[in-house]
Structure formats: structure tokens, C-alpha cells
Amino acid sequence: MMSESNSEQKIPVKQIHSKDKKVKVSGRRSTKHEKHRPRHRIYVRAVEGVYQSLRNRMNWVMMVSFMLLPWIHIDGRQSVFLDFANRQFHLFGLTIWPQDLMLLAFVFIIAAFSLFFFTTFLGRVWCGYWCPQTVWTFIFIWFEEKLEGPRNKRMRLDELPWDFNKLWRKTAKHVCWVGFSLFTALTFVAYFWGSHASFVGFFTGDMTFWPYFWTFFFTLATYGNAGWMRETVCLHMCPYARFQSVMFDQDTFTVSYDAARGEARGPRPRKKDPKELGLGDCIDCVLCVQVCPTGIDIRNGLQYECINCGACVDACDQTMDRMGYEKGLISYTTERQLAGGKTNIMRPKLLGYGMVLVIMITALIATAVGRDPLKLDVIRDRNMLSRLNEYGLMENVYTLKVLNKSQQVRDYQLSVQGIEGLEWSGEQVVTVEPGEVFSVPVSLAIDPYLLEKPITELEFVLIDDAGNRVVQESRFIKGR
């Protein structure tokens, strides 16, 4: 009985024998054994079009800005200089101190919500158009194309045995990769060490250990990431690819394939009506796969590997144009629009991200505009709160810390208010260098009979030669 019951519950299995032992990977014929290698080499095919022109322009803006900023000086100081040693960030004439970390907090919050906003609206456009990994990867691919030729020639070159032609091309490519990686690393270190000190010091041996260490580290990282790992960083190392789907919805613009229009796909004569052949508009040329920097087939639907670079859009539009079909088989569109609906742009989630973004930008501007270019800290003498001096006056001792947060040398006037008859002992006019913290020891004395309370509030006033004024509260202790 048991065996009969088991036999009735068995699901019939049909053995299917594949006639074609080969499968297509990344737009070329590859054996089944090759498909299961840990990493299959992707040969990215060059493509031109509207979105690639836009991406190239944005890449140039990002790269040139990164390369030039350390060499631009404002008031004799590097425009962007992150001086961790002295705990100062110099940004376009503005010096940010540890006391101004609220500004950096606003910057990070704005960056986060900008990412949320644009991902919800346009998908992974950051990855496709602005991400340094993408920018540098395409630069390295450009070196490949110039030295090894277009996609088919590169594939053929890798299959050929080693000879002089292959050796010099491969060597020249890697020399260019390493050279550009070194230049990138020196530029990056220049943001923390100084442009002149980084570039001149590296070749003259004037650098200390850590600048050399970070220069070689980032050279190796750039060479490895953009030259060898490439899409592996996007697919397996970048956390953004993993949580991006949380921000997607049916109205997010992503690169998508219109299956209703494209299927069934297949080759056909150019002048033949595809409807007569029972085919859709997709001619299965696999150009969309060959131009993809992550090696995916967008026709399989939305995938986390897609970086929204639009390369497949340009490639497909060129094919549709040659075939005389309407463009847009692959396009930036939404899931709702593909289903026949109308995209809802003004939706609560997007409006919420946008509102927070506007509030944070407003708060950053207000904080930066209202930021005082000077700061005064008052430190009381903790060893002796009060004492009677040789003249019978009650005396309190303070240390005043004057911080010049501007980029110019400033003269400062010190005074005190809140108690009549106080005698000031110490400097009242000081000159402070840019970014310097100047200590001023001060003692205040008064006849104890003029004090009505054991503790009296007072205020120290600091005024610079530009008319900026700051007030810091403190206390005067009468003692016993």
C-alpha cells in the first residue's frame, strides 16, 4: 500500500536533451564550461548616441573638476584642502573648523537625500553618469580601444598566441593604466596634502611615509577597480546596487525593454514586414548586450546590475533607425507606462524626498551665511576660582581663546561688560593669523564691596577690524 501511494504522488519527469551545447554570453558564442567561470570577461562595444554624448560630457565635467580643483587657489590658499592635521577644511575661501561640523552634517544629509530623490525619480543615474567607478572604467576602456582596437579586435587579440604585436599593445595599455592611476592617486592625495607638496614631493622624495603609502594604495586601487574588476565592483562590492530597489516604484524611470512591441524577436530582411513573419521589432542583434558595461541583457527585464547608463538605448535606437522602425524599443520609461498607464511624477514619496532636500539646502545656506568668522572661548582658572590680590581687590583669572576663522590676518579688540568698575589686566588688542587660535591670559579685579552677589554674570566681547562681533558669557565669583 505504501509503495502504491508513493508511486501515485510522483511527478512525471521528462528528460530533455539539448541539441545546442553552446550558449551566448555577453554577445558572443561561448561554451557551457566557460559560462560557469568565476568571472567572464566583458568586451564592451563602443556606441554613439544622445545618452552617450550626455554621459561623456558629464564624465568630462566630473573628471576635469576633480583634476583642477587642487590647483585653483583663492586668497593664496588651495580652493579645496582637507587639512586633517590641523583640523581645518578649506572650501572655496571658507574655513570649516571642528566647531562648524554642523555644516558638514548638512552636506552629508543633502548628499543622502539627493541620492534618494534622484534614484526614486530616475533610477541609478548616479551610477551611469557620475559615479567615479563608471567614469574611470570608461576612461580605461578608451585606452583599450585606442591601443587594442574595437571590441572584435580585442576579442581576437586575446585569443591569439603571444607575439610582438600582442606584447607591445598589452604593455602599452597597462603602462597607460598605471600612469593614469598614479596621476589620479596624486590628485586625490593633493586634496589632503597640498597640490605642490604631492606632485613635487612624490618625485623629489620629500614626502613622508603616509603620503607615499596612500599614493601607492590609491594607485593600486584605481588600477585594480577600473582596469580589472570593473563591473565586479558594481555587482558585488557597491552597497548601492543592493538597496536601490527599496527606492524604486512603478513610476521610477529606468532603462527598460518594451516586450509587448519587441517580441517575438528574431532576424528578418530589412524590407520584410515583421508582422507577416510573426515577429516583433527586436531583430535579436544583441548589440544591447555588447554595449552594456555590466554585461546584462536588458530584454530579460529590470535587473539590479543595470546602471542606467543608456548605452543599450543608443545601440537599439541605431538599429531601429537602420531597420526603418520607430525608436524607443529600449528607452527610459516606467513600469506603469509599459503597462499602458500614465506615469505619476508628483507622488508622495518623491515629494517627501524633495521637500526634505529643499529644507536641508536652506538650512545649509542659512548656517553658512550666519556663520561668525571669529570665535571666542572663555576658560576659567580651575585651580583658584577667586582670590584677594595685594591691593585688597577680588580677582578672577581667565584664559580667552580667540579663533580667527577667516582667511585674512585680523586685529581683535577685547572687552568685558556686565559689572561696573572691573579692572582689566592683560592684552586687549591682539593680532591673529588666519586659522590661528590665540590664547590671551586675563585677570579681572574689583572691590569686593561693590559685588552684591557671590556669583555675578558678565560677558566678554570680541570685535575684529571688519566690525564682526561675538559675545561669550562667563561668571565672576566673589568668594569668601
Count Cα atoms within 13 angstroms, Cβ side, for 392. Answer: 3
The mean pLDDT of 355-360, rounded to a whole number, is 96
Q: Is the pLDDT of residue 327 over 60?
A: yes
Neighbour tally for 106: CB within 10 Å:
19
Answer yes or no: is pLDDT of 17 > 90.
no
CA distance 42 to 234: 14
pLDDT, the chain, mean: 87
The pLDDT-based confidence of 40 (bands split at 50, 70, 90) is low
Q: Please check the confidence at residue 33 and state whether its pLDDT lies above 50.
A: no
Compute the average pLDDT of residues 220-246.
Answer: 89
Residue with grid cell 521610477, as numbered in its chain: 252
CB neighbourhood size of 29 (10 A): 9
Mean pLDDT to the nearest integer, 117-140: 93
| Residue range 114-124: mean pLDDT, rounded | 92
Q: Which residue has the higher pLDDT, 316 or 101?
A: 316
d(CA 203, CA 196): 11
What pLDDT digit, counting tens, does each position of 261-288 carry? 999 999 999 888 898 999 999 999 999 9
Does pLDDT of 152 surpass 90? yes
What are residue 445's DSSP bridge partners? 395, 423
Give the span between the Cα atoms of 102 and 46, in whole angstroms: 45
SS3 246: helix
pLDDT in tens, 387-446: 888 888 999 999 999 998 887 889 999 999 999 889 999 999 999 988 788 999 999 999
- Residue 18 grid coordinates: 539539448
Cβ neighbour number for residue 276 with a 10 Å cutoff: 8
CA distance 90 to 367: 16
Residue of 382 and 329 predicted with greater confidence: 329
Q: How far apart are the first and last CA of the chain?
A: 104
State the Cα–Cα distance between residues 185 and 271, nearest whole angstrom. 54
**Omega of the bond leading into 264 within 30 degrees of 0 (cis):** yes
Count the alpha carbons within 13 Å of 52 in the hemisphere toward its beta carbon.
Answer: 17
Q: What is the mean pLDDT of residues 174-185?
A: 97
> Rounded distance, CA 440 to CA 467, Å?
20
Q: Would you state the CATH architecture of domain 374-477? A: Sandwich (2.60)
The whole-angstrom separation of Cα 281 and Cα 261 is: 6
Give residue-wise pLDDT tens across range 52-107: 999 999 999 999 999 999 999 987 789 999 988 878 888 887 788 777 778 888 99
Helix H, strand E, coil C: the string for 77-108 is EECEEEECCCCEEEECCEEECHHHHHHHHHHH
Cβ atoms of 424 and 442 within 8 Å: the answer is yes
Residues 341 and 325 sit within 8 Å (Cβ to Cβ): no
DSSP category for residue 234: I
pTM, two decimals, is 0.78
Cβ count within 10 A of residue 321 = 11
- CB-based contacts of 221: which residues, under 8 Å, 6+ apart? none
* Beta pairing partners, 437: 403
Domain ranges of the chain: 1-371, 374-477
Residue 284 parent element (H or E): none
Decide if pLDDT at 36 tops 50: no
**How much is the pLDDT for 480?**
66
Which H helix or E strand runs over 354? helix 348-369
**10, pLDDT greater than 80:** no
Angle (CA) 16-18-23 rounded to 5° is: 140
Q: Where are the alpha helices (DSSP H) in 194-280?
A: 195-204, 209-222, 231-232, 240-243, 259-262
Residue 39 has pLDDT above 60, yes or no: no
- Report the distance separating Cα 429 and Cα 438, nearest Å: 12
Q: DSSP assignment of 141-162, as one string?
A: HHHHHHHH-SHHHHHHHHHSPP
